[in-house]
A and B are shown apart, each in its own frame.
Chain A
């Protein structure tokens, strides 16, 4: 076991322990988080959608679950879990779209469970969860009619998006809908920043579910993320100094 593996093991173990500790400590504490305007805008948009009787569209991206981009897809699914309970009171059920089959199947499962919990029935329409394409641009192209033909007022793009997200967001803007987007891809983030009023950058994608539905474990994971980030910063500084000093 080389040093790299050891560091990896230590990092994973430390993260797990810190999450458990903070989850226990802060299980009854009021979360104190910084304000993210995009999430506030999302809440307002959801409220307007519910009150206005319009539909909410959630796009999960094209990240494969077996790939590192799968984490973004899982974050989108977690957000879907939080949104589904809120959107249940709307006149029109929410619709999801994805460019990855596994994400499409999981989103169907979440919607079915949410229906059972709030409406007493697991029946959902197959139109509520769609696989719109298998490639990037086919996925974006297939998402455009979902936005334009289903009385969608709020679009939430959470997942692995590339530059093809521009097409989706352009369609949302044409429908005068509110769009909140977040991606783990740099190119996608740049496109989202230029196309929407409020966008999420970086790891804010993984904080959306916590902001919408607070749980102690979620809050603890966000805290641990901040701690680890500072640790990485410290390691970079130390490594740079050592490199400059010729130590390493």
Chain B
């Protein structure tokens, strides 16, 4: 009876296809994870080689995914342009610039002055400008922090930021030895560092359980049902 039901279950092409895919992907994920994990702890030559092999494949896949991502970007921006949406022209520009850069890089190779020029002229200033805008954004956010979230936590946040800023660089009116010599190091190196360390520890433990859930097959972010 169980076999018959399994047969019926699998006989449905839609169900059968999806289940087979899910089973295969889940099996590969679990097996690969176990090999890499055990290979880290147990220095068995074959496990070590398998681990290296799997890691190499992962790296290659990750690199190949970049191309897939590039294709995705291309398709989206082309659709923006062809559908006549707002800012569709910029999508076209993006596509052109991307493929031109790709072509030059393949031809001229990275490090070529032209490539450097393109990078130094377009990407670098853009990102530097974004960083500058971000500083203004943070400043505006700091101004509105007490209005958005009035409370002692916000006040403490701002006071701490001020102390760090004051301790980083001396004021035009002079230096504050207490702030620069004691308070700022204490806040940055003791309070902030310890808090950050605790957060990182929690994140690490959560990452550990997350990985184990994937190994158990309970969590399938790769789409397996």
Contacts from A to B (Cβ < 8 Å): 1, 5, 8-9, 11-12, 15-16, 19-20, 23, 64-66, 68, 71-72, 74-75, 77-78, 81, 100-102, 104-106, 109-110, 112-113, 116-117, 126-127, 129-132, 134-135, 137-138, 140-141, 145, 149, 163-164, 166-167, 170, 184, 186, 189, 191, 193-195, 197, 201-203, 205-207, 215, 217-218, 221-222, 224-225, 228-229, 232
Q: Is the Cβ of A221 less than 8 Å from the Cβ of B210?
A: yes
B interface residue numbers (CB < 8 A to A): 18, 37, 40-43, 55, 58-59, 61-62, 65-70, 72-73, 75-76, 79, 85-87, 123, 126-127, 130-131, 133-134, 137-138, 141-142, 145, 148-149, 157, 196, 198-216, 218-223, 225
B149 contact set on A, CB distance < 8 A: 197
A195 contacts B37, CB within 8 Å?
Answer: no
Given contacts A102-B65, A167-B130, A221-B209, contact A130 B73 (CB under 8 A): yes
A101 x B79 contact (CB < 8 A): no
Which residues on the B side are within 8 Å of A117 (C-beta)?
225
Min CB distance, B44 to chain A, in Å? 11
Contact indicator B59/A126 (Cβ below 8 Å): no
Question: Could you tell me if A206 and B225 are in contact, using CB atoms closer than 8 angstroms?
Answer: no
Expressed in whole angstroms, the minimum distance between the Cβ of A193 and any Cβ of chain B is: 7
Given contacts A71-B211, A77-B221, A106-B223, is CB(A186)–CB(B76) below 8 Å? no
Return 16 A-B CB contacts under 8 Å, by A number. Answer: A8-B41, A12-B37, A12-B212, A16-B212, A16-B215, A74-B210, A101-B70, A126-B76, A137-B126, A138-B123, A170-B141, A186-B200, A193-B157, A194-B141, A203-B202, A206-B203
Contact across chains for B134 and A164 when beta carbons are under 8 A apart: yes
B216 engages A217 (CB within 8 Å):
yes
Chain B: interface secondary structure?
helix
Contacts of A131 in B (CB 8 A): 69-70, 72-73
- How far, in Å, is A128 (CB) from chain B's closest CB? 10
A235 vs B18: C-alpha distance in the bound complex, in angstroms?
A: 46
Please state if A9 and B41 are interface contacts (CB–CB under 8 Å): yes
Determine the distance from Cα of A127 to Cα of B76 in the docked complex, in whole angstroms.
Answer: 6
Question: Is A126 a contact of B65 with CB atoms below 8 Å?
Answer: no
* Majority secondary structure, A binding face: helix
| One of B65, B70, B198, B221 near A81 (C-beta < 8 A) | B221
With both beta carbons as reference points, the residue of chain B lying nearest to A101 in the complex is identified as B69
- Which residues on A sit within 8 Å (CB–CB) of B225? 113, 117
Contacting B206 at CB < 8 Å: which of A116, A166, A203? A203
Instruction: Check A104–B212 contact: CB distance below 8 A.
Output: no
Q: Does A149 lie within 8 Å of B87, measured CB to CB?
A: yes
Q: How long is the Cα–Cα vector from A120 to B68 in the complex, in angstroms? A: 26
Asked if A203 and B205 make an inter-chain contact with CB atoms under 8 angstroms apart, the answer reads yes
List 20 additional A-B contacts (Cβ < 8 Å) besides A137-B130, A145-B87: A11-B208, A12-B208, A16-B215, A19-B209, A66-B55, A101-B67, A113-B223, A126-B76, A130-B76, A137-B127, A138-B127, A166-B137, A167-B134, A186-B199, A191-B138, A203-B199, A205-B203, A205-B206, A225-B205, A232-B205
A104:B76 contact, CB within 8 angstroms = no
Residues on the A chain within 8 Å of B133, using CB: 167
- Closest chain-A Cβ to B83's Cβ sits at a distance in Å of 10
Bound CA–CA A134/B72 (angstroms): 12
Which residues of A lie under 8 Å from residue B213 when comparing CB positions?
A: 19, 217-218, 221
Q: Which residue, A20, A164, A167, A202, has most C-beta atoms of chain B within 10 A?
A: A202
Q: Given A141-B130, A166-B141, A221-B213, is A112 in contact with B223 using a C-beta cutoff of 8 Å?
A: yes
Q: In the bound complex, how far is the Cα of B39 from the Cα of A5, in angstroms?
A: 11
